[in-house]
Amino acid sequence: MASARPSQPDASLQALVEPMGEGDVPWVAELAASSFPVPWDVAAFRNELQRPWARLRVIRGAEGVPVAYAVSWCLQGEMHLLSLATSPDQRRLGLGSRLVGDLIEFGRERGLDRVTLEVRAANRAAQALYRRWSFVTLGRRPRYYEDGSDAILMVCPLRRVP
Ligand SMILES: CC(C)(COP(=O)(O)OP(=O)(O)OC[C@H]1O[C@@H](n2cnc3c(N)ncnc32)[C@H](O)[C@@H]1OP(=O)(O)O)[C@@H](O)C(=O)NCCC(=O)NCCS
């Protein structure tokens, strides 16, 4: 029997979102290497861990190894999502969605204005995920990435219009 698919992102709501620690970094860097053409390396994640305005989160799988992560900055009244990935063998299980939902919740709790991000124009999977969380396209940044690809700028407003 076919199961009904949720119309809103609600899968994996139980997945625990935890702060990324120093010990997670090699795993997370490996995850990034399997997810991006120009991935952040161990040093890049360690740098982020030092920044007071950076928020680094993981979801762990078996034996506590991270299977998904998100890095964002909290600056000037908004959250900016810099990097998000789910392990290739754990995709379409709701983990990316859980991390985006956690970020939005964090921003709302703090009364921030919005969440912004850039995503590769060709990255339809990520754009579909963000749209499910009510992100809308604000514009395009030509040749934003190292390989000359364009970025789409997306925003999710956090404040409800009265
Ligand atoms: C984008 C990414 C983080 C999604 O992670 P994920 O854990 O698989 O996402 P979820 O399971 O939470 O997906 C939630 C929804 O997003 C959309 N989505 C996710 N992957 C998709 C795909 N390959 N094609 C179409 N829609 C997709 C769907 O609407 C999905 O809901 P559904 O499974 O009920 O249809 C993951 O594919 C990834 O790590 N990609 C490589 C790195 C990357 O592109 N990061 C984003 C950079 S901006």
Q: Which DSSP category does 89 fall into?
A: G
- Per-residue pLDDT tens over the stretch 35-62: 998 999 999 999 999 999 999 999 999 8
Distance 91 CA to ligand 1 centre (A): 7
CATH at 28? 3.40.630.30
Asked whether residue 128 is domain-assigned, the answer is no
Asked whether residue 154 is domain-assigned, the answer is no
- Per-residue pLDDT tens over the stretch 81-100: 999 999 999 999 999 999 99
- The preferred substitution site among 129, 144, 152 for testing ligand 1, maximizing ligand atoms within 8 Å of CB, is 129
- Per-residue pLDDT tens over the stretch 97-106: 999 999 999 9
Please tell me the pTM assigned to this model.
0.93
Asked whether residue 136 is domain-assigned, the answer is no
Strand, coil or helix: 137: strand
Asked whether residue 91 is domain-assigned, the answer is yes
Domain that holds residue 62: 17-119
Asked whether residue 141 is domain-assigned, the answer is no
Asked whether residue 134 is domain-assigned, the answer is no
Our answer on whether the CB atom of 123 is closer than 6 Å to any ligand 1 atom is yes
Domain count within the chain = 1
